[in-house]
Structures are given as C-alpha cells and as structure tokens.
Structure 1
C-alpha cells in the first residue's frame, strides 16, 4: 500500500518532468517506471537504476513485451537509465546504454536525441573530440525541445577544441533563446575574445554584464561577465576602462570579493590610493579565509603607505600579521585533523546533507576545523568528483550493511517457519492421503455415471434409471416367481399371473417415465459437478497451501550465496573507501598546505613592510621634531 501511494504521488510530478528528459509518449502509465523516476528526482540514483534495470530486464524477458505497460515508455526508459547512470557517474554504462539506442532501429528524431546525449556524456568526461563526432551524427529533424540544447553544446564543444570562429556562429544564433540568455551571451564573449576579436568580445561581455533579470543564475552570469572583462582590462594595463565593469559586480555574491580587490588595484594603478581604500576597506571586513580578503589585508596598509600615513600602515601590517598567524594555526589544526581522519567523518554526517547547501553548512560544524576551508576546496572539479564518489561509497556501504542484516532476519524467519511446519506436515500428509483416495474414488464413480448417461442418449436404457425401490421390487418379484415355479399347489398359475402383471406395471412405469428421469439425472449430474468444482477448488487450495508451507523454508540456499556476495562487496567497498578517502585527504592537505605557504609568504612581506613603515613613521616624526 505504501509503495502504491509513492507511485501515485510520484506520477503527478513525473509526467511533466519526464518531458524535459526524454521523448514524450503520452501520460505515464507504468508504475514501476514511475517509481524509478520518483527515486531519481529525489537524487537517489542508485535506487532508480536498480529498479529500472530490473524492470527493463523483466520487460525484455517477456514473450509478448508489447503487452507490457512499459512498452509505451520503452524509449524514455532507455534514455532514463542512461541519464541515471550518468548522474551516478557510471559513464561507461551510460555510454553503452545511449549507444544501444543510437544504433537501434528507432526513429531519426530519437537517434538524434541519443547522439546529443552521447555528446553531452563525452563533453562531461572532458573528451570534446568524441563529443563533436557524436554531434556530427545528428541529421535531419532535431526535436524542438532540445534544439537549443544541441546548439549550445555544439558551441561549447567547438570552444573546447579551439574552433572559436565556428563557436561564434553557433552562439550568435542563441542570443535571446529562452533559458540560454546569460550563458550564450557570456560564452559568445569568451569565444570572440579568445578567437582574436578582443573588441567584439569586450562588447559582448559588456552586454552580458548588463543582462536583465533577478534569477540567481542570471545574476551570477552578469557578475562573472563584468569580473572577467574588468580583470582582463586590468591585466592589459587599462585600469581606467576596467573600473566601471568591476563596479557593476554586486557587493553580495560569489564574485564580490575578487571584484572589490580588483577595483582597488585599478585605482591604485592610477595612483588614486585614497579611492582604492574604499573597496579594500570593505573587503578586509569580510571572512579572512578568503584569499582575496587576505591579499586585501596587505593592500590596505600598502595604500596608506603610499599616502604617507606610515603609522597607520604599520599598525595595519601588524593586524595582518596577527590575522595570518591565526589562519596559519587554523590551517595547521585543519591539516592535523584531516590526518587524524576527522575530515572524512565530518563529510559523512547525515544531518548536514539534509540541506542542499550542506557543503556550506560544514563550515559551522563544531570541533571540525578540517571543514572550514571546504567551500574553497570544492571549487576543484576533481575534488568534487572524488568527494561525490566517496559519499556514494559511504551510502553503498550502509546499504550493504542493511542488506546483510536483512539476510540475517530473513534466515531467522525461514528457521521459524521450518520449526513450525515440519512437525505438522507428516500428520497433515497422512490425513490428506486418506481423503485424497476417497476423493479419487468418488470422482471415478462420477465419471462412470456421466459416461453411462451420455451413452443413453444414443441407446436408451430405461433400466439404468430405475429407482432403488423399483430394483428391490424387481428382485422380490423374481424371488416370488422362482418360488411359484417350484410350487405345485393349486394357486400357482394365479400367482404367476399376478407376478407378471406387477412386472409389466413396473416395466411400463420405468419406460413411460424414462424421459423425465433422464432429465432429472442430467440435472443431478450438474448439481454434482458444482459440488465437485468446490471440492477441486478446496483440493487445489490445499495443495497450494501445502506447497507454500514447504517452499516457505526450503530452497533458500541462494541466501547463503547472496551473503557471500554482500560480504565480498563490503570488503571491496571498504578498500575503495580507504583509497578514495586517502585521495580526498591528500587533496585537502595539499590545498591547505598551499594556503599555508601563501600565508607564510604574506607574513614575510608583512614583516618587512611593517618594519619599513615603522622606520618611515619614525623618520617623519624626527623631521617634524
């Protein structure tokens, strides 16, 4: 019942969501497919793959699969299983599933969509060459709902292969396409810039930096466009031109710290150190773990030094040294914590992952300094992939433990059934054999009666329909007749005559009532058949119950094999988790050590700058005196 309710709940939201991921075939009608989709849209791709693989295997094993409810959605199911495997990072299996559709006997539109999905898979695997080959297989009509997706992917692939001019042509046609406004505009600007058209690229990034809309993705693209354009102009020695673009970046956003730092350097490059202090002062009040903020801690006293306020510069350098020292201590504690294994324990906390922003929440975990810099570590694609693999292994480890415990409970249940049924079945079988023999005898008698009645339709036999009393009367008359024939008394002839009349009366009665009696015999036979049907149903029910009783505890040797496989899988998962965990720890430690080296360099610079500022401040006081 609970499973059915899940299906019903899922079907209402999945029918519309399905249209965005696979060819539409009408309303969703297969409940098992709906259950797999339900799990997928909860992010439970392992469960979704397991259920959909099972459903597809059963479907293809049917003698007449076209009668199965999944037949209406077989195209969507093949696409879906590839998508689920892709989301679960099973790239090899996902590729095989999509290639099976691509090379199958399907419509051209379906083949085109398969080619698009295969290209997307190759691109996500950082293989743009094969992605381009897959896109080149698209011919004829492309489904309307993925037409822009195909074009955008082609533009990205062309950029990844260095064909920027071709990418410009594709991306230019996507300007204004619904859902791609910001992405297409930004990528077009990058393609123009890298393709040797910096002026056009700058104008395009300028337009992307002024996009309208308040959606988070649009705001992020707008900020990134302005930051990229402003930073590039600053690097190319055009600080005056860079300043307006950097000022467009929001003060609250993922790119705000870098924009504030760059804006300050734009003014500093122009010698306007007083104006540079404005964005830098805002910057240094933010989270000191951010690298832009750390650089800002050195930039602010540098600006005060340029303004000849050496005393304040010296104090700010001292403050920066103190901040760097605290951060180095925190980094050292984080590295030690990671090496003690606390980092991986923190990653596996269930309560953190209940929120979609669980990575950010890791920063606030108590007694877990190793998680404080995780947000920045997640910027690495390799780290993200490794982290997701580790978390999936952790989930799989928990599932294997649950399966092992389920097998224990299952075997205990089987043992309880065996202990209950085994003592009862011998007596039940003996009683059943007696009843079975009686039943077979009565059924044989019924068959003989039925055959005799059927024979009377061809050759009437009235004597067969005589009643029991009539048979007794006939026997009595025969006895009287034999006795009279032996007698030599005077009443012998009269007695024989009377016996003859009675026999004739009996014969006449049987003959004249033959049709009625035959009809009644058929009627009684049909009534008997109804009783026999009930008897057979009870017999079959008993046989099934008897078989079920035996089968409830016999033939379950497979559980031992499953237990062996589960425990082998647990050992493999434990080994893989250890390797993956070490990889994550190594990546995290390397990142934190890089930060430590950077802060140590900042410390050295801050010490020299502070000493220099003190000297200059002292000299200024002496000149005043």
Structure 2
C-alpha cells in the first residue's frame, strides 16, 4: 500500500471505531454505512466508495453524523483527488460541526499538506486541532507530528513524543525505525543503533514485524560499521534471518565488517554464500568483486585473478540478458509480465520473493519496494478495475435496452387489438342484438306462439295466409259470400300451425343454444377488451426509461474512453519506471564489469604479463 493510501485510509478506521461506540442505530441507517464499512475492511476500497456515492445519490446516510463524509473524503484523498477531498474537509470545518468532526477534518488536511511537502501549511492545520482529540486520532496526530519533526530535523521534539509510546503499541517499531534512520542520516550512529535495538525488545507477531526487525538489524550493523565498531557490526548482522528479505544486504555487510577487522578469511564465507545467489541483486554483484579483493588482501593473486575473470564473464552474460529483456519490455510484454490483477492488492516485495516471476521482473525487486512504484501499480489496478466495471455496465445497459425493446414489442402486439375498432363496435352491437333475441325468445316461450319461430317456406306460407285473410275480410265487408274461401284459408292456417307445433320445442332449444354460445363469445371478447383497456390506462410510459438508458450509455462510453486514455498514460509512466530501473541495473552491472576489468589489467600488469 502506498504512503498516500495508508495515511488516507487510517482516518476511515478512526471513523468506524468511533461509530462502533455509539448507540445502535436502526437497520436502515446502519445498512448502507455498514455495507461500505464491510467493503473497507475487506480492502475493497473502490466498492466502499461506490457504496457511499450510491447512498449519497439516494438521499444520504442518516444517523451516522459526519462519519460517511469523512470516510468519503479519505477515499478521495487515497485516490489522489485532493481537490475534491479538500472541498469535503473544508465543508466539515463549519463551526456548527461537532469538535471531533472538525478535529478529523483538520487532521486530514494536515496529512494532505504533509504529503505535498508543504510543511508550513501542515503546522497551520495542526494548530486548529483541539488539545483533546478523541479515539485513534490521538495516535495519528502524534505519528504525523513525529514525521513532521523528523522532516524538519527537530529530532529532540520528535523523540519526546516517541518516548511516550508504549512498546505494546503496533506503531512503536515503525516510530523507532524512523527515529533511528533520522539519527543515522545525521551521523549520530550511537543514537541510531539505540533506537534500532529497541525493536529487538518487542515481541515479534507477524511477518511484517520480522521484516522490520531484519531491516533494523541490518541498518544497525552498517551504523556500527560506519562508526568503525566492526565487532558490534558483526553481532548485528548475525541477528538477521538468512531467508528474510534483507539477508543479502546483511551477508554483504557481515563480510565488510570482517574485512575492516582484517579478517579476510572470515569475510569470504558470507560473500561466497552470497555469490551463489541471483546476480540480479546488487549485493550479489558487489560480492562478486569483493571476493577477489579479499583474495588480493590475502596475497592469493592467482585466485583473485580467476575470480575477477569469473565475475567479468558473469557480468557480461547478465548485461547481454538484460539488454534482451529491456527490448522485450518496450511493448505490452511488461504489463503481461507484471500480470496486474485488479481484484487483488499485491504486496509486491513479498510477491517478488515468493513467486516465480517472469525473468524480466526479477531485476525489479528493488523497484517493488518503492512507494512510488506501488502507488503507480495501485493507480493502474484501480483504472483497470474501473474499466472492467464500466464494461460490465455497458453490457447491463444493452441488456436493459433489450428488455425495453421486448416490452415495447409486447405492448404493441397488444395494442394491435385496439386497432380493430370496428370489431369492438360490432361487439357492442352484438350485445344489443343479444338483448333483443333474449327478450324475443322469452316472449315466444311465454305466449307459446308456434308461428313465431317459422322460417323459410313456412314463413312465406304464413305471409300468404295472412294476406288471404285480409282480402277475405275486405270482401266480407263488401257483402260478398266468402264462406268457402274462409274455410279453405282456415284449413291452411290450421295445417301450418300443426306442422310448426311439431318443431316448436326443437327450434326453441336451438335458439337458446345459439343465445348461450353468443353469451360465451361476448364474454371472452369483453375480457380481452378489458385487459387491453387496463394496459393502455395503467401501462408505464417507456420513453423516460429509454432516455435514461441512452443517457447512461453515452456517459459510460465517454467515461470508458477517458479511463482507457488514463490507462494508456499510467502504462507509459509505469513502463518508464521499469525502464529506468532496468537501466539503473544495467549501469550498475557495467560499473562492476569495469571494476573487474581494471582489476584484471592491474593484476596482469603487476605480474609483468605473466599468466597466473
């Protein structure tokens, strides 16, 4: 984790710790903030920030005071968005805010100014913090002051704070190491060693503490060496683990401490062990030329010449290999070799030592330990993660758009029925006709009128009979004798009624059946019409959703293009850092190669051309 990220995220822990001590809140108030805290403690900082931003868009987190804003400002600071972070913190400095909120904001601003190297502005921010900050802010404030005083070479003031720190505190070894380094830079090696040795008094609980212990013992050894305390230097170097990250440096220093004591044979043991390790390490490179130097001091010049020639061949071979790798890493091979996974927060120093890296990367172990490099890796990981999420949202937007298209198609299919207005009007007419038929059948059944259900020829015969009856009535009124005609018409009517009476029940049943079928059809058609009308009346207007999706797709496309551009820039910067590191490695190899060649020439000259 880079220094910027570490400083920025620490106050998030302060906020979460303070929140845990408050009274339990409602499930709704806890939920969104709780999710953000969950992702934060899972080291999923991007997701935690996303949770806070979504919560803010949905109305904000209620019931947790200013903690969500402070946490969000910390994430912005961690991602290098200092202007946005400053805006948040300055807003939190309002006099109406609680004192602990203003203390946290000023502490954050002080850290931001410290990271920018503006020490005067850092002091100005610290002056605004109350004399009684609460919780973890106390430790953060003290640690910041220690680092600030060390930067200003005010070591006694820094020491006064460090002396109050308990050995049981997790921050203690780091403060001791920083103080030791500051004294060493001032060539006060006695005080430097004293602080380095304090780390030995602490119970080591993790690999990080053990690595710091090895680093401290190595640094203390060199401090004794610079102070011409060779025996003490040897004792310090002996305390470093042989399988730790600083073992090579300790072996090299152990050998030089023996050389300073003119114990050249003892110096050969650690250097020979070191020379068998990878030549990529600069300590191994130095050991390759230190071994023949020791042989020279022991007056074993033939052996020294042989070792110088072996070193020369090794350096030449390594330079040739390095040149090949430098050519390969000019393209995307460098990123493929790094194999940056945005889902993991890799400790690159441990990764370099414990993983089978691509051959090119074994040259970059030193680079992995630099905060600047890890900051670049962090930035590129975040950009790659952001790109992946934007691509996912591109797919989601396409899916949502397809859903709307499908829904619109279904709706249009339903609306096609509405286009059949003529059929709908006919349905209304059928309802009226059905009512008439029902009434007619009911009247026929009640009057038992057989002739009411006549059809076809029977109906024509009835019409002729009724016409004949009207004519007979007219003739009878005129005084004509119509007895015979009247009897004949009566017989025809009687025969017709007898015949219709035979089929009356059947025709009445058929009429009722037809009426029942008509009722069923009308009912089904009515339900379909009701459903369509309901959809038309209650269906959502899809146009606003489509507009939102189109707007979101456009914004995602723009953001994706911007992220892609930033990824290209980050890759170029990272590629430049790697190229510089490899070039430094090459320069160092050529330096030791030159030393080897000069030593060979000198030894040959001293032997007056005699071949050892």
Checking the alignment, whether the CA contact within 8 Å between 1:224 and 1:255 is kept in structure 2 is: yes
Partner of 1:589: 579
Checking the alignment, whether the CA contact within 8 Å between 2:19 and 2:64 is kept in structure 1 is: no
**Using the alignment, how far apart are the partners of 1:332 and 1:182 within structure 2?**
41
Partner of 2:553: 563
Partner of 2:69: 78
Checking the alignment, whether the CA contact within 8 Å between 1:45 and 1:88 is kept in structure 2 is: no
Partner of 2:59: 59
Give CA deviations for 1:187-224 in whole Å, capped at 9, x if unaligned: 34345556786544443333334434343333233323
2:10 maps to 1:37: no
TM-score by structure 1 length? Answer: 0.70
The alpha-carbon deviation at position 160 of structure 1 amounts to 1.5
**Using the alignment, how far apart are the partners of 1:93 and 1:375 within structure 2?**
35
CA gap 1:621/1:322 in 2 versus in 1, 3 angstroms: closer
The alpha-carbon deviation at position 268 of structure 1 amounts to 1.0
2:297 maps to 1:306: yes
The alpha-carbon deviation at position 421 of structure 1 amounts to 0.6
Partner of 1:377: 367
Checking the alignment, whether the CA contact within 8 Å between 2:147 and 2:158 is kept in structure 1 is: yes
The alpha-carbon deviation at position 180 of structure 1 amounts to 2.5
Partner of 1:99: 90
The alpha-carbon deviation at position 559 of structure 1 amounts to 2.2
Gaps of 5+ in 2: 1-11, 429-529
Checking the alignment, whether the CA contact within 8 Å between 1:414 and 1:552 is kept in structure 2 is: yes
2:345 maps to 1:345: no
Greater mean deviation of Cα atoms: 392-401 or 547-556: 547-556
Checking the alignment, whether the CA contact within 8 Å between 2:14 and 2:135 is kept in structure 1 is: no
Greater mean deviation of Cα atoms: 551-560 or 579-588: 551-560
The alpha-carbon deviation at position 179 of structure 1 amounts to 1.7
CA gap 1:85/1:370 in 2 versus in 1, 3 angstroms: same
CA gap 1:412/1:366 in 2 versus in 1, 3 angstroms: farther
**Using the alignment, how far apart are the partners of 2:78 and 2:366 within structure 1?**
23
TM-score by structure 2 length? Answer: 0.71
**Using the alignment, how far apart are the partners of 1:247 and 1:178 within structure 2?**
27
**Using the alignment, how far apart are the partners of 1:26 and 1:376 within structure 2?**
48
The alpha-carbon deviation at position 419 of structure 1 amounts to 0.8
Greater mean deviation of Cα atoms: 178-187 or 544-553: 544-553
Please show how residues 94-243 of structure 1 align to structure 2 within 5 Å. Answer: 94-103=85-94, 105-176=96-167, 178-192=169-183, 198-243=189-234
CA gap 1:17/1:164 in 2 versus in 1, 3 angstroms: closer
2:349 maps to 1:327: no
Give CA deviations for 1:66-98 in whole Å, capped at 9, x if unaligned: xxxx32213221222122223333333233323
How many aligned residue pairs are there? 494
Please show how residues 445-524 of structure 1 align to structure 2 within 5 Å. Answer: none
**Using the alignment, how far apart are the partners of 1:543 and 1:233 within structure 2?**
93
Higher relative contact order (CA 8 A, sep 6+): 2
Partner of 1:409: 399
**Using the alignment, how far apart are the partners of 1:167 and 1:273 within structure 2?**
41
**Using the alignment, how far apart are the partners of 1:22 and 1:327 within structure 2?**
56
**Using the alignment, how far apart are the partners of 2:95 and 2:20 within structure 1?**
15
**Using the alignment, how far apart are the partners of 1:78 and 1:118 within structure 2?**
14
Partner of 2:22: 25
RMSD of aligned C-alpha atoms? 3.6
CA gap 1:546/1:50 in 2 versus in 1, 3 angstroms: farther
**Using the alignment, how far apart are the partners of 2:188 and 2:384 within structure 1?**
49
Checking the alignment, whether the CA contact within 8 Å between 2:14 and 2:137 is kept in structure 1 is: no
Candidates 357, 370, 382, aligned match of 1:392: 382
Checking the alignment, whether the CA contact within 8 Å between 2:110 and 2:122 is kept in structure 1 is: yes
Checking the alignment, whether the CA contact within 8 Å between 1:109 and 1:141 is kept in structure 2 is: no
**Using the alignment, how far apart are the partners of 1:16 and 1:164 within structure 2?**
29
The alpha-carbon deviation at position 284 of structure 1 amounts to 1.6
**Using the alignment, how far apart are the partners of 1:44 and 1:542 within structure 2?**
49
**Using the alignment, how far apart are the partners of 1:21 and 1:345 within structure 2?**
43
Candidates 232, 241, 257, aligned match of 2:248: 257
Gaps of 5+ in 1: 1-14, 61-69, 439-539
Checking the alignment, whether the CA contact within 8 Å between 1:260 and 1:279 is kept in structure 2 is: yes
> Could you say what secondary structure the match of 1:563 adopts?
helix
CA gap 1:425/1:153 in 2 versus in 1, 3 angstroms: same
> Could you say what secondary structure the match of 1:313 adopts?
helix
CA gap 1:348/1:17 in 2 versus in 1, 3 angstroms: farther
CA gap 1:547/1:320 in 2 versus in 1, 3 angstroms: farther
Checking the alignment, whether the CA contact within 8 Å between 2:268 and 2:291 is kept in structure 1 is: yes
The alpha-carbon deviation at position 616 of structure 1 amounts to 6.6
CA gap 1:129/1:225 in 2 versus in 1, 3 angstroms: farther
**Using the alignment, how far apart are the partners of 1:548 and 1:366 within structure 2?**
64
Give CA deviations for 1:536-589 in whole Å, capped at 9, x if unaligned: xxxx99999657643346541232222222222222222222222112112211
> Could you say what secondary structure the match of 1:59 adopts?
coil
Checking the alignment, whether the CA contact within 8 Å between 1:363 and 1:373 is kept in structure 2 is: no
CA gap 1:103/1:244 in 2 versus in 1, 3 angstroms: farther
**Using the alignment, how far apart are the partners of 2:531 and 2:144 within structure 1?**
62
CA gap 1:541/1:346 in 2 versus in 1, 3 angstroms: farther
CA gap 1:300/1:16 in 2 versus in 1, 3 angstroms: closer
CA gap 1:405/1:592 in 2 versus in 1, 3 angstroms: same
The alpha-carbon deviation at position 360 of structure 1 amounts to 5.2
Partner of 1:602: 592
The alpha-carbon deviation at position 275 of structure 1 amounts to 1.3
Greater mean deviation of Cα atoms: 611-620 or 161-170: 611-620
